[in-house]
Amino acid sequence: MATVTGAQIIARSLRDLGVTVIFGIVGIPVVEIAEEAINLGIRFVAFRNEQACSYAASVYGYMTGRPGVCLVVGGPGVLHALAGIGNASANTFPLLVLAGSAETTLVTKGGFQEMDAVSFLTPHTKFAVRTSSLDFIPGAIKNAYRTCWYGRPGPTFVDLPADIIQGKSTPGYRLPAPENMLVSTPPKSSGDPALIFKAAQLLRSARAPLLIVGKGAAYARAETSIRRLVEQTQIPFLPTPMGKGVVPDSHPLNVSSARSAALKNSDVVLVLGARLNWILHFGEAPKWGPSAKIIQVDICAEEIGRNSGSSELGILGDIERVVEQLETSLANWKYTGGGSDSTSKFATLLAESAKKNEDKAQKAALTPTLANSPLTYQRAYHIIKSTLNTLTPAEDGNVVYVSEGANTMDISRSAFPLNHPRQRLDAGTYATMGVGMGYIVAAHEAFNGPSTSGSRPKKIVALEGDSAFGFSAMEIETLARYRIPALIFVVNNSGIYHGDTTTESAWKTLQDQTAGHDTKSADGKRGLRSTSLLYETRYEMMATMCGGKGYFVRTEEELEKATREGFLSDTVTLVNLIVEPGIGKSIGFAWQQKKEEAKL
């Protein structure tokens, strides 16, 4: 065959692996790879900052269950993409990152964008490798693709020197046959039957059993078997933030609104695809009962027995398989309240706690906004949710939610119930701010991309804190360019966690003090705080500047109208939603609920 370039071999390898979309930013020399990929029918989604494209590729892997692919330039491109590599690693998402690098003959001389990316990324990836010859390209890319996907998913990295990308094959070079590039879906293993038996026995005799459904269960696409297990056993369940929707939130056994009571009082907990990390308070007292028996189900052996998990009880295996085994083991049994002397004690406790929390939330949602007062988060979310419900019933699952920020994300978690898996993307295990815009693009590709043709398009609704949005705000141009008609709410309290003042004039006084270096204050409290952002920044103009729709919203009526029009719009819409500044509120994720949280 005629000679081929390294770029062509790379693009061919990706296509033969089944890659249909690449998220990236081009520059010399990776632009040649992107161009060849487009020529082969692969979509190349071009971003404005490598952070956003690496975030997009990481979550695309989570949503589709196949590796997301990210292509960036070397040096600074790799440094920026490290953000998504860390995000994929922390969340266990499958991600293949490809980057250009300086010519092999210029290394150590100060070549263009020279950086030893392999050494740099080795600690942060499942492996990082440099391709040293054209012959090696297909094998390296195939192994990197397979490795990021198999076992516990995570990131892998392939470094592509400029002379390899631009190199030409020797006469007689043969590309591998496409069938030799195929990587089948990862092998699945069942759990040890003895441990399945033990787990079933423990659950049968539990006084207060609980099932925790994590994002590993969502990634494993185990919803059908988990739903059956819940139905069959009648064990209450608690989803983690991204485990929501594996079993519908509307299910009567969902104890999310009694979360603390459920964690504290359960005696046997089956954890399906969730680590016992900060999100689950490490499985430790006082949040959990001190003698709770915790049965972890995970694909990763190292996870079993971590923190309060039990090494004797934990089950290594694929969630779907293990759940099916448990179904068989627990056939003809269902939880009826934990034995004769304590019948329904647990259920009563959960019901009481849920009612208290739900009444409180309901009250906040239903309290109308007073004239001249800003909307509260709860009221604003109630209006958004009710309006969306009139446009598309929640049960149909036509909305994918993206959410990041502190209050914005925390409060939205319970305000927007989910009945379908993998349709709520948030800041995740790393609490990464700035993921939202990339996640919108990835959700659009995963749910509305060419490979999904025929299914009804999903609307992507993002609830972005004003600070979180700012990390990747320029990606709104990316959305406009690819005609992604997302509806983005920038929930604007003019600050990180909270704002400073309730009036513009009071805010300007603080600004004057800071700008004028007026530091004479005795209490040290003058001027803008580290959490301050410009008062009521007009973020909606970022949508209109690129042909989208922008709304500046203060009132309930304006919010209802903007939500409706934004939902129906076929261009990107940004609703700049002014909410209560929350002055004096505690700093931190409500999720962590630490007593010692700092207060300003």
Residues that bind Mg ion (CB under 5 A): 465-467, 493
Report what 216 binds from Mg ion, ligand ADP, none; CB cut-off 5-8 Å by kind: ligand ADP
**Residues recorded for the chain:** 600
Q: What is the chain's alpha carbon radius of gyration, rounded to the nearest angstrom?
A: 26
Choose one: 39-47, 167-175, 237-245, 551-559; the region binding ligand ADP (CB under 6 A): 237-245
Residue choice 5, 429, 492, 493 for contact with ligand ADP (CB under 6 A): 429
Q: Which is nearer to ligand ADP, 64 or 494 (CB)?
A: 64
What DSSP letter does each residue of 171-206 carry, written as one string? Answer: TT--PPPHHHH--PPPP--PPPHHHHHHHHHHHHT-
Does position 319 interact with ligand ADP (CB under 6 A)? The reply is yes
- Residue recorded with tokens 């005799």: 205
Q: Which is nearer to Mg ion, 144 or 574 (CB)?
A: 574
Does position 92 interact with ligand ADP (CB under 6 A)? The reply is yes
Does position 307 interact with ligand ADP (CB under 6 A)? The reply is no
Does position 279 interact with ligand ADP (CB under 6 A)? The reply is yes
Does position 353 interact with ligand ADP (CB under 6 A)? The reply is no
Choose one: 123-131, 135-143, 286-294, 298-306; the region binding ligand ADP (CB under 6 A): 298-306
User: Side chain identity at 313, as an amino acid letter?
Assistant: L
Residue choice 80, 215, 244, 422 for contact with ligand ADP (CB under 6 A): 215
Biggest alpha carbon distance in the chain?
82
Which of 324, 364, 365 is closest to 196 using CA atoms? 324
What DSSP letter does each residue of 283-347 carry, written as one string? Answer: G-TTTS-TT-EEEEEES-GGGTTSTT--TTT-EES-HHHHHHHHHHHTTT----SSSSTTTTHHH
Q: Where are the alpha helices (DSSP H) in 40-176?
A: 50-64, 76-91, 117-121, 137-149, 162-165
Indicate the residue whose CB is closest to ligand ADP: 216
- Residue recorded with tokens 């293993």: 189
- Strand order of the β-sheet with 268-272 is 237-239, 209-213, 268-272, 293-298, 315-316
What tokens appear for 464 in the block?
């972005």
Report what 493 binds from ligand ADP, Mg ion, none; CB cut-off 5-8 Å by kind: Mg ion
Does position 91 interact with ligand ADP (CB under 6 A)? The reply is yes
Which element (helix H / strand E) includes 549?
Answer: strand 549-553
CA dist., res. 292 & res. 267, Å (int)? 4
Q: Which is nearer to ligand ADP, 219 or 381 (CB)?
A: 219
CA dist., res. 9 & res. 417, Å (int)? 46
Choose one: 214-222, 252-260, 392-400, 592-600; the region binding ligand ADP (CB under 6 A): 214-222
Cα 481 versus chain centre, distance = 23
Least distance (Å) between residue 214 CB and ligand ADP: 3
Residues contacting ligand ADP: total by CB under 6 A: 23
Report what 159 binds from ligand ADP, Mg ion, none; CB cut-off 5-8 Å by kind: none
CA dist., res. 279 & res. 235, Å (int)? 21
Report what 466 binds from Mg ion, ligand ADP, none; CB cut-off 5-8 Å by kind: Mg ion
Does position 214 interact with ligand ADP (CB under 6 A)? The reply is yes
Q: Which is nearer to Mg ion, 240 or 467 (CB)?
A: 467
Does position 242 interact with ligand ADP (CB under 6 A)? The reply is yes
Does position 303 interact with ligand ADP (CB under 6 A)? The reply is yes
Task: Give 152's DSSP letter.
Answer: S
Q: Which is nearer to ligand ADP, 111 or 243 (CB)?
A: 243
Does position 191 interact with ligand ADP (CB under 6 A)? The reply is no
Task: Give 484's DSSP letter.
Answer: -
Strand partners, 157: 97, 128
- Residue recorded with tokens 């704002």: 499
CA dist., res. 108 & res. 116, Å (int)? 9
What DSSP letter does each residue of 559-588 carry, written as one string? Answer: HHHHHHHHHH-SS-EEEEEEB---TTPBPS
Least distance (Å) between residue 496 CB and Mg ion: 6
Interface characters, 247-276, with ligand ADP (x: CB under 6 A): --------------------------xxx-
Does position 442 interact with ligand ADP (CB under 6 A)? The reply is no
Q: Which is nearer to Mg ion, 466 or 475 (CB)?
A: 466
Long-range CB pairs of 365-373 (<8 Å, 24+ gap) are: 365/415, 368/556, 369/555, 369/556, 373/580
CA dist., res. 247 & res. 402, Å (int)? 19
First-to-last C-alpha distance (Å) of the chain: 70
Does position 424 interact with ligand ADP (CB under 6 A)? The reply is no
Least distance (Å) between residue 93 CB and ligand ADP: 9
Q: Which is nearer to Mg ion, 151 or 470 (CB)?
A: 470
User: Side chain identity at 531, as an amino acid letter?
Assistant: T
Least distance (Å) between residue 188 CB and ligand ADP: 7
| Burial class of residue 172 (count of CB atoms within 10 Å of its CB; 0-12, 13-18, 19+) | exposed
Least distance (Å) between residue 406 CB and ligand ADP: 17
Report what 378 binds from ligand ADP, Mg ion, none; CB cut-off 5-8 Å by kind: none
Does position 190 interact with ligand ADP (CB under 6 A)? The reply is no
Least distance (Å) between residue 589 CB and ligand ADP: 13
Least distance (Å) between residue 316 CB and ligand ADP: 9
Choose one: 74-82, 215-223, 474-482, 559-567; the region binding ligand ADP (CB under 6 A): 215-223
Does position 89 interact with ligand ADP (CB under 6 A)? The reply is no
Report what 128 binds from Mg ion, ligand ADP, none; CB cut-off 5-8 Å by kind: none
Interface characters, 446-465, with ligand ADP (x: CB under 6 A): --------------------
Q: Which is nearer to ligand ADP, 220 or 347 (CB)?
A: 220
Interface ranges with ligand ADP (CB under 6 A): 91-92, 152, 214-216, 219-220, 240, 242-243, 273-275, 277, 279, 298-300, 303, 318-319, 429
